[in-house]
């Protein structure tokens, strides 16, 4: 990126990590900057995160450095480093790896120590890979035993990467707050929490599972606490309350105002074993009973020719199924696993579900 008289300096970042030295210098003269990397904000990802303590913190990851897209697999990057190869933009790959873990599992109080311990974990991993290579042992993730500690919990590389992917996906499918959350949104939040819990029960130890559950719960609570009618004074002044409506306390705005009831819906789907279809079906039956009076309050009634209420309940239940059916096994597949599965055309649909 070239800086000119019209460049908006608020839209760039100056990486001066290599600025205090003289490249290839043999003298002890006063060091001058030999390299300052200018990174446009379009090539960075500045993200607000929520820790298990419910507090916000920020992390920055990198998409592109000097035209180089950072899309290599971390195992390949660290394996190349262990073989003494020159890995382009290596420091930025390390930073992205640390950010991927900290944004999902750190909090304000642990972030500084987590960054140090994860960097140490990378160094130990490279030594393990080097040792494996000398013994003829494959450096696939299943074979790597190095521990990465984040927020006081140890993960192997595979468990850390898989869990990070699951948490990233969970964040991506959470409802977007506009005028507020609907009762259906609370059902979706319950599914997200329930699926994280099921994944943890089946794949992680108790400490790892607890960390995932605490972090996803904190994110959910942040969403619930951020609805406009609870924080925006201008919104509150302009609303017209409907004291006669148990579920929709604001006229002309169909957002869930009976938070206790909405949480009951959320808990219905949170306490589900998503590896057991009968457990989910039981939850949908309970949801049908819970959502029926909500729909009535919204004006959905039984007509003489067609049962609009029953059809709407069925529609509400069916609309949740795609989220509940998402296979986390496919989400955590590595690039090689996806390529192997896609080698058979019949597998493409399953991988992409």
pTM for the complete prediction? 0.81
Determine, yes or no, domain membership for 243: yes
Q: Is residue 256 part of a domain?
A: yes
Q: Is residue 10 part of a domain?
A: no
**Number of structural domains in the chain:** 1
Residue 140 lies in a domain: no
User: Is 258 within a domain?
Assistant: yes
Please tell me the predicted confidence (pLDDT) of residue 76: 95
Per the domain annotation, does 64 fall within a domain?
Answer: no
Q: Which residues of 243-275 are buried (b: 16+ CB within 10 A; e: fewer)?
A: eeeebbbbeebbbbbbeebbbbbbbbbbebbbe
First-to-last alpha carbon distance for the chain, in angstroms, is: 39
Query: Would 110 be classed as within a structural domain?
Result: no
Kindly report, residue by residue over 73-94, the tens digit of the pLDDT: 999 999 999 999 999 999 999 9
Expressed as residue numbers, the domain containing 236 is: 178-325
Classify the C-alpha dihedral 200-205-210-211 as positive or negative.
negative
Q: Could you report the per-residue pLDDT of 191-232, keeping only the tens digit for each?
A: 999 999 999 999 999 999 999 999 999 999 999 988 765 545
Task: Give the integer Cα–Cα distance in Å for 111 and 103.
Answer: 9
Domain-located, residue 58: no
């Amino acid at each position: 990126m070239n800086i000119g008289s019209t460049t908006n300096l608020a839209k760039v970042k100056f990486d001066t990590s290599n600025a205090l030295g003289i490249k290839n210098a043999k003298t002890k003269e006063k060091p001058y900057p030999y390299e300052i990397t200018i990174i446009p904000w379009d090539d960075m990802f500045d993200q607000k995160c929520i820790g298990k303590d419910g507090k916000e913190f920020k992390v920055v990851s990198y998409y592109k450095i000097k035209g180089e897209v950072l899309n290599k697999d971390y195992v390949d990057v660290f394996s190349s480093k262990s073989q003494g190869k020159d890995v382009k933009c290596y420091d930025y790959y390390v930073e992205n790896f640390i950010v991927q873990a900290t944004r999902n599992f750190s909090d304000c109080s642990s972030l500084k120590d987590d960054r140090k311990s994860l960097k140490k974990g990378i160094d130990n991993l490279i030594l393990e890979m080097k040792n494996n290579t000398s013994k003829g042992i494959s450096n696939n993730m299943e074979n790597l035993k190095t521990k990465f500690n984040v927020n006081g919990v140890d993960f192997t590389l595979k468990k850390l990467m898989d869990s990070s992917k699951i948490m990233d996906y969970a964040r991506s499918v959470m409802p977007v707050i506009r005028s507020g959350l609907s009762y259906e949104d609370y059902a979706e939040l319950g599914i997200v929490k329930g699926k994280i819990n099921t994944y943890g029960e089946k794949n992680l130890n108790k400490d790892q599972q607890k960390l995932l559950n605490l972090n996803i719960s904190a994110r959910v609570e942040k969403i619930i606490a951020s609805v406009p009618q609870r924080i925006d004074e201008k919104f509150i002044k302009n609303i017209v309350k409907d004291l006669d409506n148990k579920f929709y306390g604001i006229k002309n705005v169909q957002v869930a105002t009976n938070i206790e009831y909405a949480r009951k819906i959320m808990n219905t789907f949170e306490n589900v074993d998503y590896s057991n279809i009968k457990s989910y079906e039981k939850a949908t039956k309970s949801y049908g009973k819970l959502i029926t009076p909500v729909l009535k309050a919204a004006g959905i009634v039984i007509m003489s020719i067609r049962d609009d209420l029953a059809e709407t309940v069925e529609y509400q239940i069916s609309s949740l199924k795609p989220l509940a059916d998402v296979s986390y096994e496919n989400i955590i597949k590595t690039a090689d696993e996806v390529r192997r599965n896609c080698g058979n055309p019949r597998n493409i649909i399953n991988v992409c579900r």
